[in-house]
Amino acid sequence: MTKRILSAFLATVVVLSIAVAFPRNGDEAAAIVGDSIVTGAGAGVFPAGANFSGVQLAGGTFALGVQISSTGSANGDLEAQFTGTSLIGLSQWITITGWITSGTSNPDGSVTLNGTCTLDMGDGTAQTGGLPLVANAGPAGLTLTIGSTTLPTLPKSDGWVINE
Amino acid sequence: MGRMRQPALVHRITRTRPLWSIAAVLVLCVSAALPASVALGRIDPADPGRTATLGPNMIGIVTGGGTVKLGVFPDEVLASFGINAKRPTGFVQDGTGAALGRINYNKHAQVAGRHVNVPVTFMQLELSATPSPNGTGGKAQLIGDCTQAGVECPTTPPGIRSVLVYVEDNSDTGAGDVFQISFCTDGPSAAPVLCGAAEGGTIRTGNIQIRPGASGGAAPTAARAPRLRP
């Protein structure tokens, strides 16, 4: 009788020790790994006629660092600055700073990033924050949609957008 | 007399043997359980263990994108940077500071060494003891490898083998964040020492985020602080 009780106790202890020794939920190592890393920095020149809110766009720069997990959630940052000329002929720099919270990799090698952004029109008016942002970045360039407005695509003539 | 004592001793040992067996098994189980979680270097992401100094064992994620201004008028140059760094799968806290990621750095002028495109191979990290409302903040050193195939690094001065990027995440808005880059002639390691003067400084536009573990903060909804314009 004593042996049976002792055997049962020992078996329980062994099972418990195995449960403690191995990872509790199996995702501890995976939690620090995202499925893709998207990094970019570069510049481009807009085609003639590109316009945003009355500003004739000439060119722009961009930079991003985003890590997308297998669930589609993402952490990262995107910054773009477009230069142009206002209606009255003044130089104007439009700055978009985005906080990326989700993203997907596309078959064509581009990525679609979602989040919120701040838009600074560079004309002396107060910048606007909390705007919905969708960005498509890839070998062809950068296309931003702020709220319901899609900005002209900035073709990439220099730099990189690397999805790895 | 000796013959009388021996059976009593045996009896005493026999009577307490189950207790000693249980104790021995418990000791074995505890000694097996502790090394399994500690020696393998597994980290609980919920417990980032914030430190006060840069270290090669800290778990965290670094992301950023923005611009910095280099030089002074009339020779000033704008440069864009995009950075990513994280710990690799199965990261072991053995002091080597292994990391994955990429450094992109692009000077917007026809100057020498205007392109940097290297993988991150090492990282040192410090998480802020007073993180921002979004749970981010800290400092990091990212080390890129110029010796791998297909990378882009400056060729002057000759012998550059690694890139050292130092970043600070001082706010959710990006205001006061820092990006600096320098080029080193020693091979990539967690702490290169043969590095030239750093260029960069407080970022002009953009944002740098340093997060513990794999978790991110909520997106800010308020307008960001006013930023420098050219």
Percent of chain A past pLDDT 90, that is, above it, reads 79
**What pLDDT, on a 0 to 100 scale, did the predictor assign at position B21?**
72
Percent of chain B past pLDDT 90, that is, above it, reads 65
Would you say residue A8 lies in a domain? no
Shortest alpha-carbon distance between residue B3 and chain A (Å): 30
Question: In the predicted model, is pLDDT for residue A103 greater than 80?
Answer: yes
Shortest alpha-carbon distance between residue B94 and chain A (Å): 16
Chain A residues whose beta carbon lies within 8 Å of the beta carbon of residue B84? 37-39, 65-67, 76
**What pLDDT, on a 0 to 100 scale, did the predictor assign at position B74?**
86
pLDDT, tens digit, 9 for 90 and up, residues A106-145? 999 999 999 999 999 999 999 999 999 999 999 999 999 9
Whether B150 has its CB under 8 Å from any CB of chain A: the answer is: no
Would you say residue A13 lies in a domain? no
**What pLDDT, on a 0 to 100 scale, did the predictor assign at position B30?**
52
B131 to A8, B123, B141: CA distances (angstroms): 49, 20, 18
pLDDT, tens digit, 9 for 90 and up, residues B179-196? 999 999 999 999 999 999
How is chain B split into domains, by residue range?
1-39, 60-212
Whether B222 has its CB under 8 Å from any CB of chain A: the answer is: yes
Mean pLDDT on A8-15: 62
**What pLDDT, on a 0 to 100 scale, did the predictor assign at position B123?**
97
Would you say residue A54 lies in a domain? yes
Which is nearest to A120 in space by CA: A52, A64, A48, A45? Answer: A52
CA angle in degrees (0–180, nearest 5) for A21-B40-A66: 115
Beta pairing partners, B80: B67, B106
Least confident of A76-80, A99-103, B18-22, B216-220: B216-220
CB pair distance less than 8 Å for A160 and B104: yes
**What pLDDT, on a 0 to 100 scale, did the predictor assign at position A97?**
98
Whether B25 has its CB under 8 Å from any CB of chain A: the answer is: yes
As a whole number of angstroms, the longest Cα–Cα distance in chain A is 98
CB pair distance less than 8 Å for A61 and B86: no
The answer to whether the peptide bond before residue B74 is cis (omega within 30 degrees of 0) is yes
CB pair distance less than 8 Å for B36 and A73: no
Mean pLDDT on B117-128: 97
Chain A residues whose beta carbon lies within 8 Å of the beta carbon of residue B64? 63, 65, 77
**What pLDDT, on a 0 to 100 scale, did the predictor assign at position B167?**
98
Q: pLDDT confidence of B26, banded at 50, 70, 90?
A: low
Shortest alpha-carbon distance between residue A87 and chain B (Å): 19
Contact at 8 Å (CB) between B214 and A69?
yes
Torsion region of B193: left, alpha or beta (phi above 0 gives left; psi -120 to 50 gives alpha): alpha
CB pair distance less than 8 Å for A63 and B65: yes
Total count of domains within chain A: 1
If one compares B215 and B172, the residue with the highest pLDDT of the two is B172
Choose the mutation target among B77, B102, B115 for the interface with A, i.e. most A CBs under 10 Å: B102
- In this predicted complex, what is the ipTM? 0.79
Give the length of chain B.
Answer: 230
Q: pLDDT confidence of B224, banded at 50, 70, 90?
A: very low
**What pLDDT, on a 0 to 100 scale, did the predictor assign at position A23?**
41
> Measured between CB atoms, which of B36, B82, B174 is closest to A21?
B36
Q: Tokens 């205007």 correspond to what residue? A: B114
Q: Tokens 């142009």 correspond to what residue? A: A84
CB pair distance less than 8 Å for B82 and A64: yes
Question: In the predicted model, is pLDDT for residue A25 greater than 90?
Answer: no
Q: Which domain holds residue A98?
A: 32-163
Shortest alpha-carbon distance between residue B77 and chain A (Å): 13
Question: In the predicted model, is pLDDT for residue B108 greater than 70?
Answer: yes
Would you say residue A90 lies in a domain? yes
Question: In the predicted model, is pLDDT for residue B16 greater than 80?
Answer: no
Chain B residues whose beta carbon lies within 8 Å of the beta carbon of residue A164? 102
Give the number of beta-carbon pairs within 8 Å between A and B: 200
Chain B residues whose beta carbon lies within 8 Å of the beta carbon of residue A35? none
pLDDT, tens digit, 9 for 90 and up, residues A36-90? 999 999 999 999 999 999 999 999 999 999 999 999 999 999 999 999 999 999 9
Shortest alpha-carbon distance between residue A149 and chain B (Å): 19
Q: Which residue of B has its CA nearest to A164?
A: B101
Whether B191 has its CB under 8 Å from any CB of chain A: the answer is: no
**What pLDDT, on a 0 to 100 scale, did the predictor assign at position B27?**
63
Q: Which residue of B has its CA nearest to A132?
A: B221
CB contacts under 8 A, B 123-142 vs A, are none
CB pair distance less than 8 Å for A76 and B84: yes
As a whole number of angstroms, the longest Cα–Cα distance in chain B is 107
**What pLDDT, on a 0 to 100 scale, did the predictor assign at position A16?**
52
Q: pLDDT confidence of B163, banded at 50, 70, 90?
A: very high
Mean pLDDT on B91-103: 95
The tokens of B59 are what?
Answer: 């778990």
